[in-house]
Amino acid sequence: MKALSVAWKDLQILLKDRGMVIQLFLLPLLFIVVTSGALSAMAAGQDQGDTRIPLPIVDLDRGEAARTLLEGLDAAGGLKVQQYDRSEATALLNENTLDYVLTIPAGFTEDLAQNRTVTLRLVSHPNANAARTESVRLVVEGVARDMALERQILTSLQQMGEMLADAPPEYQAAFAVERAQAQARSQFERASSQPLVAVRERIPSPEEGEQQEEMPSANLLAVPGYAVLFVFLTAQATAHSIYEEKKVGSFRRLLAAPISKASLLAGKMLPNFLTALVQTAVIFAFGAFGLPLLGLTSVSLGRDPIALVLVVVLMALCSSALGLVIAAIARTENQIGGLSQVMLWVMAIVGGSIVPALILEMFLGPLPSVVPHYWANRALDNVMIRGLTLSGVTTEIAALLGFSVLFFAIGLWRFEFE
């Protein structure tokens, strides 16, 4: 009860500071709106562009079969046909401005009509992206193979008609070459728009196994990321509160009271803990109900409220304990301010509150896991974005609890009570 009395006094002092209230509750919402709006606009602008892989082509034939090939390549999906003159394409290829060039040889249409073998030449620069070049080659090869198959089928039907030249008239009428070829062309066109065998991609749910590491939209990342950032920034308030108590001498009176040192520090942690809970509730409520009013996507709070509440509670507890560490290390008000700003912002950046952890891990490897922000961000992402339940975030919960115990132990050990 004595620890609660200490906490209540500190909480009243905190709420009287308008600047701190703005920093705790209004500033996170402003960050979310600005970041989400800017990144959403950038993503929308990028989505409007043509993302197909360019395919430079030199057409030396200009015949019907060449036009059919170009149409097939353009309709295959993923490739954007771009025609060049031979001299221009050769110069750009030598300069490495173009990675590769596909050349349709002269006589392509005539050779196909005469059933002669033709060769398409895909020339690539030595410094070209090998994976992209191979992807282009596979698409070209597939379209060319389909053209060859169609040509072979039509030729076979023509030969069959010639074989029936001496057959009775009723057989010739039943197996007319023109009718058979027209039917075959109809089937070719239908196959291109309505394939007999289709491939459908399905992303399994988390319960079904593999999780897909796709990048969510800007606001889905901003809400949990900034929630972690600003909850841990409240650790500075705990350190300042303890310093003010020491400066005015009231902390000495608290030491004279019949209360243990651990209970005293717990009482100093409690205002920050409660503030962080309210702060997180405000941020999540704004993400779920306020963002749609601004034309942005609503943020889901996940499928397991117990998991979400437990993660938030441990995140607030860890932030409060971190405030004790700052108060135990810093000796002056300036040290508290400087140490808090450097420590908390660096930990936020490394831990994935500003740049998603998925991207950071590509460059920093396991380094982000040494800060509690990383585990808090992972836990919130798993619950709110990926829809995992309590069983899916046990590692993150254990890490946050471990950091909380560690920070409290360091604070109790290094704190100067005199």
> 218-246, pLDDT tens digit by residue?
667 788 988 999 899 888 877 777 777 66
Tens-digit pLDDT profile for residues 234-292: 888 777 777 776 665 556 666 556 667 777 777 778 888 888 898 999 999 998 898 88
**Which segments within 84-215 are labelled E, that is strand?**
100-104, 121-124
Tell me the percentage of the chain whose pLDDT exceeds 90.
16
Under the banding of pLDDT at 50, 70 and 90, the label for residue 119 is confident
Identity of residue 68: T
Q: What is the structure's pLDDT at 294?
A: 81
Mean pLDDT value of segment 174-192 = 54
Residue with tokens 């090939």: 69
What are the Cα distances from residue 395, in Å, to 182, 309, 353?
64, 16, 19
DSSP code of residue 370: G
Residue 311, pLDDT above cutoff 90: yes
Q: What is the structure's pLDDT at 415?
A: 72
Tens-digit pLDDT profile for residues 340-395: 788 888 898 889 888 877 777 777 888 889 999 999 999 999 999 888 999 999 99
Out of 4-8, 95-99, 358-362, which region has the weakest mean confidence (pLDDT)?
A: 4-8
Tens-digit pLDDT profile for residues 27-86: 788 877 777 666 555 555 554 556 678 889 999 998 888 888 888 888 766 788 889 999
Mean pLDDT value of segment 141-164 = 67
Could you tell me if 11 and 234 are in contact, meaning their C-beta atoms sit under 8 angstroms apart?
no
| CATH numbers and ranges of domains, the chain | 2-38+219-414 (no CATH), 53-194 (3.40.190)
- The residue ranking higher by pLDDT, 392 or 155, is 392
Strand partners, 121: 103
Q: How deeply is 177 buried, as exposed, middle or buried, from its count of CB atoms within 10 A (0-12, 13-18, 19+)?
A: middle
114 phi and psi angles, rounded to 5 deg = -95, 10
Q: What is the structure's pLDDT at 326?
A: 86
CA distance 73 to 153: 21
Residue 110, pLDDT above cutoff 70: yes
Q: Mean pLDDT in the chain? A: 76
Could you tell me if 391 and 206 are in contact, meaning their C-beta atoms sit under 8 angstroms apart?
no
Residue 404, pLDDT above cutoff 80: yes
- The residue ranking higher by pLDDT, 237 or 108, is 108
Residue 187, pLDDT above cutoff 90: no
Tens-digit pLDDT profile for residues 325-352: 888 887 777 777 777 788 888 898 889 8
Q: Which two tokens stand for residue 218?
A: 């800007």
Q: What is the structure's pLDDT at 357?
A: 75
Tell me the percentage of the chain whose pLDDT exceeds 70.
68
Q: What is the structure's pLDDT at 373?
A: 93
Q: What is the structure's pLDDT at 334?
A: 77
Could you tell me if 376 and 399 are in contact, meaning their C-beta atoms sit under 8 angstroms apart?
no
Q: What is the structure's pLDDT at 199?
A: 40
CA distance 72 to 78: 12
Q: What is the structure's pLDDT at 340?
A: 77
234 phi and psi angles, rounded to 5 deg = -70, -10
